[in-house]
Structure 1
Amino acid sequence: MIELRRAGPEAFVSALDIVIDIYTAAMRPPADQLSGRQGIMRNHATFPDFTCLFALTTDGTAVGFGYGFHGMPGQWWHDVVRRALEERSGPPTSAGWFGNAFEIAEIHVHPGYQGKGIGRRLVQGLCEGRPESTAVLSTHDQPTAARHLYRRLGFVDLMSMFVFPGGYEHYAIVGTMLPMRPLA
């Protein structure tokens, strides 16, 4: 049995070592990127309306997490993605998706616990009751389990084959209207 537990900014920051362990197991990033990722996550906890969910086993071990916040100008991801969508699809489309958006920054489940509905519960739990009109996120633009999950949850592609400045990997920027539609 997996329990979801909400955490605010302070609890999230105090659990960053655990968060990084789950992130590392799920994503297998190069070791030299971890301190930078930890700094980014710490900074995200300062953003407006930050919220986090931890997925915990019955003994209290964290096996997954997800977090997000209200997106606004001045946040790097928000500015880069909104500008790119505006260039590709026009100002009305960009404003419609990013004018009042909940930005899901991270969703990760330890590999030993993937495929059990935890990621779905994290996304739905983070979006539940949010006041924003949309939820947006980026994910690797490959046929992964995450891409499939987001589609099942009602996320649509806003941009595909997107490369962040200074990067080389292709991402899909996806979004859904809030409140989320229930899964059939």
Structure 2
Amino acid sequence: MIEFRGAGPAEFVERLDTVIDIYTAAMNPPVDQINGRKTIMRNHGTYPHFQCYFAELRDPSLSVPLTVGFAYGFRGTPGQWWHDVVFRALTDRLGHEAANAWLGYALELAEIHVHPDFQGKGIGRAMIRTLCAGRPERSAVLSTHDQPTAARHLYASMGFQDLLTRFVFPGGYEDYAIMGRPLPLT
């Protein structure tokens, strides 16, 4: 049985090695980027209204629950790298009013990952629903690879729409889609 357990910043940082293990299994990043990703994630834990959920397999044969996924987000605010970069790009393409409507009071879904052995079982969808439940923000926003991936399909099936496509972050080379949807999730 999979259960979702909330964790605040302190527990998230304590479990960062587990988080990185799941991230690495799911995303297969270049080895030289893992330490930088860990630093970024640790920093995310300091952002306002940070919340994390762990997906845990509870089985009588296990002495402790097995963490099979995690998702976290926080309220985006000016001064945060992702927020500022995306706000500028949205302003350039859609205008200041649209950028403010999407990012002015938004839950930024920073990371959503399920270990590959447990993907395709509805865990990612359930973590997103759990993370978004009861949030006061008016929208949820995220970035994902701009390809027909399972993750992109999941977000679209949950009502997320493309705000930007073929977006390349500064210093990057891959195309991303910036997606958003109004809250609450229905």
**TM-score in same-fold range (> 0.5):** yes
| Matched position secondary structure for 2:82 | helix
- 1:116 paired residue number: 121
Residues 1-24 of structure 1 deviation map (CA, whole Å, 9 limit, x = unaligned): 110000000000000000000000
Residues 31-85 of structure 1 deviation map (CA, whole Å, 9 limit, x = unaligned): 1101000000000000000000000001411000000000000000000001100
Within-5 A mapping of 1:19-34? 19-34=19-34
Q: CA RMSD in A?
A: 0.5
Letter in 2 for 1:117: G
Which sits farther off after the overlay, 132-141 or 58-67? 58-67
Within-5 A mapping of 1:22-61? 22-58=22-58, 59=62, 60-61=65-66
Within-5 A mapping of 1:111-150? 111-150=116-155
Q: CA deviation at 1:121?
A: 0.4
- 2:75 paired residue number: 70
Q: CA deviation at 1:100?
A: 0.3
- 1:91 paired residue number: 96
Letter in 1 for 2:9: P
- 1:166 paired residue number: 171
| Matched position secondary structure for 2:74 | strand
Separation in structure 1 between the aligned mates of residue 129 and residue 111 of structure 2, nearest angstrom: 13
TM-score (normalizing by structure 2) = 0.97
May I ask how many residue pairs the two structures share in their alignment?
181
Q: CA deviation at 1:120?
A: 0.1
Within-5 A mapping of 1:149-160? 149-160=154-165
| Matched position secondary structure for 1:180 | coil
TM-score (normalizing by structure 1) = 0.98
- 1:105 paired residue number: 110
Letter in 2 for 1:7: A
Separation in structure 2 between the aligned mates of residue 113 and residue 166 of structure 1, nearest angstrom: 32
Q: Moved runs in structure 1, 4+ residues, more than 4 A?
A: none
